[in-house]
Amino acid sequence: MPIGGIDGNIDDTIKQIIWFFVGVVCMVIMTFIDYDILGKFWLPIYIILLLSLIGVLFTEPINGATSWYNFGGVSLQPSEFAKLGVIIGIRKANRLL
C-alpha cells in the first residue's frame, strides 16, 4: 500500500495525522475538566445540542446523509457531541432524583 493510502493521496494522510494529534490534545484536556462544572450547565448544553441535532436535518447532504455541518474546510457531526451531552444530562438528572 502506498504511503498516502489506497489512492496514494498524501494530503489525506497528513490531514488524518493532524486530526489524530488534535484528538489526543483534546482527550488530554478533557481529563482535567471537572464534570461537576459541566453539570451546572447541563440544561443549556442539552438544549444547544438538541437544536444542533434538529438543525442538521436542514443541511446539504454529504454522501447522501444530512448529518454534517460544514464550517469552511471542517465538517462536524453534532451527534458525536450530543453523546457527551446526553452523558452529562443523564448524570445530572440522576443526581436530581
Give the 3-state secondary structure of residue 97. coil
* pLDDT score, position 18: 92
Give the 3-state secondary structure of residue 70. strand
For the entire predicted model, the pTM comes to 0.64
* pLDDT score, position 5: 54
In sequence order, which residues have a C-beta less than 8 Å from that of residue 3 and are 6 or more positions away? 10, 13
Cell readout for 28 is: 488530554
Element (H, E) at 71: strand 69-71
Q: What is the mean pLDDT of each run of 10 residues along the chain (97 residues)?
A: 59 88 93 81 87 88 80 82 85 70
Element (H, E) at 56: none
